[in-house]
Amino acid sequence: MNLHNLTTRAIELTKANEGATILKNGEEASKGYAVGGLKEYKIPYNLGDGALWECAFSAILAINTIECDAYGFWVDGDTLYIDAVTIFQDETKALAFAAKNEELAIYCIHNQQEIRL
């Protein structure tokens, strides 16, 4: 999937679910623990659709150059966060990576739950 289509899909999933974890191949992640901490972008979520897409695309372009597993999208209030995400299959390893990178939480993809540190 090209990055234009990936951006569109990620925004659609985020609007429907208040977030999404999209693997670099364009598929939606279905299992594991998503952890940010490598690179994060904050975008005003109340931008018009075109401006929101442009900002998200720019973030994805930058994250695409980072060694990570996925793009993490989540909305908190009026802010859209886009993170370079590492996905762990082991919760203990995910929590350790999050603590090392001073993250506040990880996201359990298969249970659709945030786990606070």
Q: 69-98 pLDDT, tens per residue?
A: 999 999 989 999 999 999 999 999 999 999
Q: 4-56 pLDDT, tens per residue?
A: 999 999 999 999 988 999 999 989 999 999 999 889 999 999 998 899 999 99
- pLDDT for residue 49: 87
Are residues 106 and 45 in contact, defined by beta-carbon separation less than 8 angstroms?
no
- pLDDT for residue 84: 96
**Among candidate residues 28, 24, 14, the one with its CA nearest the CA of residue 79:** 14
Measured between alpha carbons, how far is 37 from 117 in angstroms, rounded to an integer?
13
Say whether pLDDT at 1 is over 80: no
Total domains in the fold of the chain = 1
**Among candidate residues 45, 56, 40, 36, the one with its CA nearest the CA of residue 107:** 36
**Domain around 56:** 3-116
